[in-house]
Structure 1
């Protein structure tokens, strides 16, 4: 046999969609075809050899839709194919044994619009890995790593093909090259040998939707900014993590983020979280979710979850200083996509869902996406009522022109479930020793909630550098909670007195946002300017009926239910009506300044005008009206320094504010609560940006907290202060091919630092000093078992105080999850085991009267297919 060496050549294939006629787009939108690619010897006119290749930069971001490869007698040809190759600017450098080329103004994108990553492991002798990835929002990074030294790379230009990189094998003359192969996923085809090569080079090409490591986020800046350039801690839970963990509740999804702890869920009917000890407000696509009356949010239409830690008022208005949670929804795709999934498991859970998307017309100017889910069962508590949940969300995008897009999004949610308001009560300093499935309310406690929302998003690009975005969202929700609730507990006998309640409420929310984004330079300094205006109106109406002490008592150790019939709502003797409205106008300005390639500055400020009104009426005729008006300016400033490209050092100062509703003895409204944070951190990217880690230290102080006036206890003074200091570590990404990880550790010291009551020095309720989690999966990459994968999760929460008075404590716990799954072509089957060791734990708490127990051991099976 004649021994041959092999050579690696890289070809980037780019289709610039904007401004190209549909006919041309159709001829250029090819699939990943790795066969019949011209050999490097067929390409003329080499430009340079392992030197910087510079062409005139393109003014638009080029969409690279293909990466192709072909072995030759010297190595392998890998081609970046584009008709605009002569407009690309390539800059190379070396790091260790890696030859690295950055391609500015270009992005890897599938025809569907989704990002992807190209990787080939040990393709030829002397080369351990070739990767092509999106380094940031406007740069493709090509990396070729040698075993012992930097590979020899030649760069070529072809008018017909694009830019070509040739990497020579280092195999000794006469030694046969034996490339390692990996089976790619279904959207790619393995390459075939060329006339010169006698061994195929197989590739792994995966979408960013399959990655645990997100490179960009919009929540921190309202612009698409690389995480490495943000001087504030922001963590992303990608869709792939939700799929692998088979998570469809935010409570489980946010275990993957440090410093986030679930709180009292109002009987299992709301998503409530704290971030760094303070309340975290939930947003969806940048809009506040249902004002402050949140629901159990649906994850079926989520692309990812972004958690911005620390004060966020500069962009989002009245929020607590701990941070916000932003739910980013799925958007329509250019290519047809259909996914059907069925989940079934313990406690009678059955949950089918669909995800359909694609074009509605031939020229792809109308696109749609439809997500829907129907959920039944799944509650482990001994209620008569199960969970019945239906959700549907259609989205339509109209590409009016190459510069203007208009998207309409709708959603409807209907949710019925047990109203588990009391949960498991404490006795003394500990939770009562009773089964966690036991109900101490009534088994027919029930809640009804539904929500309807409609929104539009309009984007117009005046030029490459100036963009106008306008968006509006309306949401309306109705809820009713029927229960027998905790009143008092005799901790010696276990006798619990209860009250009947029947509460109704409605919420309407109107939000209008307008942003102008501009990019320009002043000399060598580059700017990304954001100017925005927010208008919001939230209206809440609550109509609560009670019979205090009117329900029969129950013994929590030996309960007897249905002693007396539940009264009708109109027969309950005491009622309260509460109306609340919140109007605010926010104007903000932000500048992201690139002082140098490795030195970035973020400066912003916001001015808010808030008008809050409320009225309270009870059955005795007492009526109280309150009107609050507040103005506030909130700044943010941060700096990022990158001594080497993979490493970012940052520091930031930011503030938050929220209006106070309490009044002084003179009748004036207290000044707004103010939050101030100092944060320093370091973010690193490893393994060619496949894995990232963020280490942060912070100090938050919240002032102007209302406390009781010692001279007149009917009024308040703003002398209270609360503080939170901590350290957080978050890691996410791919360690080795097929081995993913997302992990975190958080230390949080949150307490009342100043108060004129016994609360001073108390720790916040439901906030542990220590919390950590680890979730990791491995999928076999080759061989007969290729596609088989395993997952393991460890979720630890330390000891917590149960209420702000610190009268009882919640024990620490370690929950263990695991999974086994199998992927083949376009289908996936898996089994997830949750809380394997059946640990008793408390999910969240608010007081001695509202404690939410965590779920016991459960099994969840899943089957999904895409076509």
Structure 2
């Protein structure tokens, strides 16, 4: 099945490709750098070739690159609202890169009223990773599958935070049970960790999921990535890039209302503090309250995110960023439904909750700060240093099932959940370019430091409403105070914590990308040495990386990758021997192609991840584990994103994920699947009119489809099959230079959708909301 599916997808990709990749007309590229009148790099400047549909935008360093340009003479148009438009003549030759002199833009007296609705370039597609991924190479040329979800795409889909369907935009990614406050993303057969601005911030519980109003983009890095981490999940990670000052004066306010009493306001202020433009600012504010289709459930969120950037000169800048998020919710665990008779979706009331409106809400406070210093020694060499601190505190409770009969009589375990997560992170890295003869090199070298501490108390608990019968089929609510267990919080959390995690690591890494034959062949060699501690387990591990990327013609690359990772494991076996870390071995190959001169891009990837030293049950000591387990995940992924035509944007993806147990002490488990749906495909198509009386009107339609589903995780012998999943969403919107309005409808077919699993004799699941609406109105000033 796996081989036949791989062959079918490969043939389909070949059919969709040009009639012969090797017979295409050879093209060239244009590189340049845009600065303001005082010499500062300018981000998000529109770059286009007059008379063509080729275009891009500048990155955070002011750099841009246009690829796939047919040979000839052109006029390059450089523009942005409030800045003069520059036209630069350029001649492109086949197989060569044309490097332009630095382009300087000056302010104009043009007002926003004089600007018409412009074509949004690269709305859903970007050509380069953010600076926080530390890479200088375009995504097309990287020997790895990296997919980027842009802020424009999040806005079109009216996604409010990381838990609301972001994964629909990436092949093979899915959401698992989320406990209402933090994100669980599964990809390539495992839960992947969360990064923020290039730093690994993940913990078992926390930090709080990022609000979409704070997000510039989300980068999904698939498979191990030794240049970012080695002591982590071999399936990959996702990196949230937060909004930074752009140097342009832009202000926006949005108000959203929706189903279940959703009320939300966001404010985004971007500009300069002083006239010289040395000191820049960005401020995002969010206030939201909403209820739920689940009885008594609610969540109120607030966020404040100021950012300052000071440019000492055109080469050196310092950025300081602080984010505070608070969430108030009924209780983690209140969003689950339960049964002792299978997934009785429909038999249990749709609005069921195990919680009670009489219990105190859970309050989460999340503070984090980043300080980033960048210095450009020259156009070829750049140094970056970054520090981050996270302080995440939960004061609340948890709910779970203590016992459940087939008749539905339930005892609810209600416990204290006070916790504190501290992350102290640091990194310094150097990017550079140099040549040795005919071979050019892109060098990355750095130091990565992390120290994470998590404290929690789960030790105090009791039965919620022990003297009041509670039945899942006919629940009653409104407990008296004496029926709610009380907890002792007089001592500090550090003194009463009964669950702790202490993790730290120091890592050195170096990566060289050697480029041959006018950059057509790119060989990546890298290694990372990591010294890590996970509670009492101390490991020193070297992990290598080898990648090859070849461009037979411009706009196309074939790649192969071998990478390693390891995952520390706390604890010991029955004889006291500490567990060795899980070792991950990744093989990946793929084909990437840019279409219509780079307007949209496609990626086909095949991979295999093998994990060794996986914990499994000790057959001689059932209360302990041993390390004889092994798993293997292999699959095929296809991603397409970009502009098919002016105003017509598309995201389309498919993934086959085959994750199985290949070695276990229980022979009956060998061959068992895990990791969720075997087949996942998603699509989102939007169209916006650019001309005529209805100019600015937009329509959007998207689907999510999962086939051959199982629960994402389960204990031995409790893997559960789930029904196929199909969801349809739509949107209609309108915008002009200042105003915008958008109506999004979720779950158009009002389908019953859920994820869940079984623990012992108890089945538990989470329902998605029925058909919903969201109406957003925005003003730009």
Same fold (TM over 0.5): yes
CA shift, 1:476, in A, is 0.3
For residues 270-315 of structure 1, give each alpha carbon's deviation from its aligned partner in whole angstroms, at most 9, with x where no partner exists: 2111111111000100112254432222221111100001113442
Indicate conservation of the 8 Å contact 1:441/1:486, yes or no.
no
| SS of the residue 2:404 aligns to | strand
Are residue 361 (structure 1) and residue 291 (structure 2) matched?
no
Match of 1:419 in 2: 331
Pick one of 585, 588, 606 that aligns with 2:506.
Answer: 585
Gapped regions of structure 2 (runs ≥ 5):
1-20, 77-85, 93-109, 491-495
Indicate conservation of the 8 Å contact 1:305/1:327, yes or no.
yes
Match of 2:210 in 1: 297
Match of 1:114 in 2: 44
Q: For 1:391 and 1:206, how far apart are their aligned partners in 2?
A: 31
Distance 1:130 1:731, change over 3 A: closer
Aligned residues: 710
CA shift, 1:427, in A, is 4.5
| SS of the residue 1:751 aligns to | strand
Indicate conservation of the 8 Å contact 2:462/2:485, yes or no.
no
Match of 2:145 in 1: 233
For residues 431-489 of structure 1, give each alpha carbon's deviation from its aligned partner in whole angstroms, at most 9, with x where no partner exists: 44323322133345532111111120011122222221110000101013324421222
Distance 1:186 1:254, change over 3 A: farther
Indicate conservation of the 8 Å contact 2:190/2:675, yes or no.
no
Indicate conservation of the 8 Å contact 1:117/1:205, yes or no.
no
Structure 2 counterparts to residues 677-692 of structure 1, below 5 A: 677-692=586-601
| SS of the residue 1:318 aligns to | coil
Are residue 456 (structure 1) and residue 371 (structure 2) matched?
yes
Are residue 408 (structure 1) and residue 320 (structure 2) matched?
yes
Indicate conservation of the 8 Å contact 1:134/1:141, yes or no.
no
Are residue 780 (structure 1) and residue 696 (structure 2) matched?
no
Match of 1:569 in 2: 487
CA shift, 1:133, in A, is 3.9
TM-score by length of 1: 0.77
Q: For 2:73 and 2:418, how far apart are their aligned partners in 1?
A: 70
Q: For 2:441 and 2:489, how far apart are their aligned partners in 1?
A: 64
Pick one of 722, 735, 750 that aligns with 1:823.
Answer: 735
Indicate conservation of the 8 Å contact 2:463/2:485, yes or no.
no
Indicate conservation of the 8 Å contact 2:356/2:478, yes or no.
yes
For residues 99-122 of structure 1, give each alpha carbon's deviation from its aligned partner in whole angstroms, at most 9, with x where no partner exists: 9663334469999621324366xx
Q: For 2:240 and 2:303, how far apart are their aligned partners in 1?
A: 16
Are residue 308 (structure 1) and residue 238 (structure 2) matched?
no
Match of 1:164 in 2: 89
Pick one of 420, 424, 427 that aligns with 1:513.
Answer: 427
Q: For 2:699 and 2:291, how far apart are their aligned partners in 1?
A: 24
Are residue 610 (structure 1) and residue 498 (structure 2) matched?
no
Match of 2:402 in 1: 487
Q: For 1:456 and 1:369, how far apart are their aligned partners in 2?
A: 14
CA shift, 1:630, in A, is 1.2
Pick one of 692, 699, 706 that aligns with 2:608.
Answer: 699
CA shift, 1:528, in A, is 1.0
Match of 1:173 in 2: none
TM-score by length of 2: 0.85
| SS of the residue 1:316 aligns to | coil
CA shift, 1:341, in A, is 0.6
Q: Root-mean-square deviation (CA), in Å?
A: 3.1
Pick one of 584, 599, 619 that aligns with 1:675.
Answer: 584
For residues 715-765 of structure 1, give each alpha carbon's deviation from its aligned partner in whole angstroms, at most 9, with x where no partner exists: 432111111111111110000100000111111111222111367236455
Q: For 2:724 and 2:522, how far apart are their aligned partners in 1?
A: 41
Q: For 2:268 and 2:720, how far apart are their aligned partners in 1?
A: 45
Match of 1:264 in 2: 177
CA shift, 1:646, in A, is 1.4
For residues 222-250 of structure 1, give each alpha carbon's deviation from its aligned partner in whole angstroms, at most 9, with x where no partner exists: 22321111111111111110010011122
Indicate conservation of the 8 Å contact 1:389/1:414, yes or no.
yes
Q: For 1:557 and 1:720, how far apart are their aligned partners in 2?
A: 40
Indicate conservation of the 8 Å contact 2:332/2:399, yes or no.
no
Q: For 1:382 and 1:861, how far apart are their aligned partners in 2?
A: 23
Are residue 336 (structure 1) and residue 249 (structure 2) matched?
yes
Indicate conservation of the 8 Å contact 1:763/1:801, yes or no.
no
Q: For 2:636 and 2:541, how far apart are their aligned partners in 1?
A: 29
Match of 1:795 in 2: 704
Pick one of 542, 549, 567 that aligns with 1:640.
Answer: 549
Pick one of 643, 650, 665 that aligns with 1:756.
Answer: 665
Indicate conservation of the 8 Å contact 1:248/1:299, yes or no.
yes
Indicate conservation of the 8 Å contact 1:766/1:846, yes or no.
no
| SS of the residue 1:567 aligns to | coil
CA shift, 1:576, in A, is 6.4
Q: For 2:55 and 2:172, how far apart are their aligned partners in 1?
A: 34
| SS of the residue 1:242 aligns to | helix
| SS of the residue 2:458 aligns to | strand
CA shift, 1:865, in A, is 1.5
| SS of the residue 2:579 aligns to | coil
Match of 1:524 in 2: 438
More displaced stretch, 387-396 vs 290-299: 290-299
For residues 380-421 of structure 1, give each alpha carbon's deviation from its aligned partner in whole angstroms, at most 9, with x where no partner exists: 2111x5211100100000101222111000000110112251
Match of 1:63 in 2: none
Indicate conservation of the 8 Å contact 1:391/1:414, yes or no.
yes
Gapped regions of structure 1 (runs ≥ 5):
1-93, 124-128, 145-149, 168-184, 191-202, 614-626
| SS of the residue 1:688 aligns to | helix
Q: For 2:576 and 2:639, how far apart are their aligned partners in 1?
A: 47
Distance 1:365 1:698, change over 3 A: same
Distance 1:117 1:820, change over 3 A: farther
Q: For 1:571 and 1:315, how far apart are their aligned partners in 2?
A: 40
Distance 1:214 1:590, change over 3 A: same
- Which structure's relative contact order is higher, taking Cα pairs within 8 Å and 6+ residues apart? 2
CA shift, 1:844, in A, is 5.6
Match of 1:46 in 2: none
Q: For 1:113 and 1:681, how far apart are their aligned partners in 2?
A: 31
Indicate conservation of the 8 Å contact 2:393/2:419, yes or no.
yes
Q: For 2:53 and 2:478, how far apart are their aligned partners in 1?
A: 69
Indicate conservation of the 8 Å contact 1:108/1:115, yes or no.
no
Distance 1:340 1:163, change over 3 A: closer
For residues 300-344 of structure 1, give each alpha carbon's deviation from its aligned partner in whole angstroms, at most 9, with x where no partner exists: 111110000111344224211111010011110212110111111
For residues 190-248 of structure 1, give each alpha carbon's deviation from its aligned partner in whole angstroms, at most 9, with x where no partner exists: 8xxxxxxxxxxxx985454x611111114895223211111111111111100100111
Q: For 2:202 and 2:233, how far apart are their aligned partners in 1?
A: 16
Q: For 1:143 and 1:531, how far apart are their aligned partners in 2?
A: 33
Distance 1:811 1:753, change over 3 A: same
Q: For 1:664 and 1:548, how far apart are their aligned partners in 2?
A: 31
Q: For 1:723 and 1:824, how far apart are their aligned partners in 2?
A: 51
Match of 1:465 in 2: 380
| SS of the residue 1:499 aligns to | strand
Are residue 554 (structure 1) and residue 554 (structure 2) matched?
no
For residues 611-670 of structure 1, give each alpha carbon's deviation from its aligned partner in whole angstroms, at most 9, with x where no partner exists: 122xxxxxxxxxxxxx11112111211111111111111111111111122313442212
Distance 1:290 1:728, change over 3 A: closer
Are residue 537 (structure 1) and residue 443 (structure 2) matched?
no
Match of 2:569 in 1: 660
| SS of the residue 1:315 aligns to | coil
CA shift, 1:583, in A, is 1.4
| SS of the residue 1:326 aligns to | strand
Are residue 499 (structure 1) and residue 413 (structure 2) matched?
yes
Distance 1:187 1:760, change over 3 A: farther
Q: For 1:143 and 1:707, how far apart are their aligned partners in 2?
A: 55
Q: For 1:628 and 1:712, how far apart are their aligned partners in 2?
A: 22
Structure 2 counterparts to residues 733-748 of structure 1, below 5 A: 733-748=642-657
Distance 1:456 1:769, change over 3 A: same
CA shift, 1:809, in A, is 2.5
Match of 2:515 in 1: 594
Match of 1:28 in 2: none
Q: For 2:194 and 2:224, how far apart are their aligned partners in 1?
A: 14
Indicate conservation of the 8 Å contact 1:117/1:206, yes or no.
no
